[in-house]
Amino acid sequence: MIIDAHLDMALNAIECNRDYRRSITEIRAWEQGMTDKIDRSKGVVSLPELRKAGIGLIVATQLARYNEEDRSLPGLGWNSPQQAWAMTQAQRTWYETMEDDDSAGFPQMRQIRDRAGLEAHLSLWLDASIPNEQKPVGYILTLEGADSLVRLSYLERAYDYGLRALGPAHYGPGRYAPGTGMTGPLTPMGQDLVREMDQLGMILDVTHLTDEGFDMALEMFKGPVWASHHNCRALVPHQRQLADDQIRQLVERGAVIGGCFDAWMMKPGLTQRKSNPADFGVQLETIVDHYDHICQLVGNANHIAIGSDLDGTFGLEQSPADLNTIADLAHLPDLLARRGYSEADIQGVMYGNWLRLLRGAWG
């Protein structure tokens, strides 16, 4: 079994009009010739491909930006928080309709929101008597960037429908926290948000926070923490990556870091949305360099996992050169074994480390 802690499926289903129930071949064929988005006909994610790889549980995003100052993120910026909220609700509805869709003889997806649901879903996916092709993909709902929360009371509303994790920041400026490419701490609204998340028992996702926001959030927030899709700044120097001292702080908090398969974050020198990953030798195994760095830094393999971000507004053009679909994540155990990782370590990377964090958070 594999747990992937970051996929933007509903965003693409709604804004790219992708029917993720279909095969990758069908999705790519339908998008052939489209030029409105850079990743048209290059997607790598579908529900059949998740099942093929044994990816039985994902952390699934809601993502809609209010970005008054920076219009450089096409398709992600809305002119008001109210519009952004409405888009996140469309995305939530897509996940829910995937739960209702049993046209294949079983639900396409299943929401996981507590320990009992987690254990029941885990039992299903570890039952070898049922083919993976006949199992619903479980999802834990997260919000990437908090702009769409019109005011703080909307957080409790979202928690009631199953939101269990939240990252206050995304790219650029934000109402609750500045994000990638910016500097500065959480805004006053963001500080209130983090306190309320703590009260609700939610998981804080530090992904996309500035260095100042990272420090403030960890100081204020006392609950469970993860970095859903992050790599190492020591290997690829950029503020979007985790510095070594941040990795140590996360490990001290019992956090898990999900290796991200966005090629420009895997090897230095690539220009986002321009470079060809093959020209830089970016392959699936490249992520193991980041895993190795974290393991050497902290002395064990208990804090590394998968947060692929595949189809995260990019496709084949910005994925590892030897990855054709998300099903190729199933090659990771062999790659890890060649680097000397034990069977227990490999199980931790593939699902066990996320599972340990979730059980602790929901215990």
pLDDT of residue 70: 57
Question: Which among 182, 153, 148, 151 is positioned nearest to 70, based on CA atoms?
Answer: 182
Give the pairing type, strands 163-167 and 203-205.
Answer: parallel
CA angle 264, 268, 269 (to 5 degrees): 85
Residues of the chain above pLDDT 70, percent: 98
Give the pairing type, strands 163-167 and 77-78.
Answer: unpaired
pLDDT of residue 178: 95
pLDDT of residue 69: 63
pLDDT of residue 67: 75
* β-pair partners for 299: none
What's the token pair of residue 222?
């006392």
What's the token pair of residue 230?
């992050």
236 close to 268: Cβ distance less than 8 angstroms: yes
Separation CA 107–CA 97 (nearest Å): 9
Give the pairing type, strands 257-259 and 225-226.
Answer: unpaired
pLDDT of residue 333: 98
pLDDT of residue 72: 58
DSSP string computed for 68-90: SS---STTTEESSHHHHHHHHHH
Residues of the chain above pLDDT 90, percent: 96
362 close to 113: Cβ distance less than 8 angstroms: no
pLDDT of residue 71: 55
| Model confidence, pTM | 0.97
The 10s digit of each residue's pLDDT in 258-267 is 999 999 999 9
Contacts of 345 (CB under 8 A, 6+ apart): 301, 336
Separation CA 359–CA 363 (nearest Å): 5
Residues of the chain with pLDDT under 50: 74-75
CATH class of 2-361: alpha beta
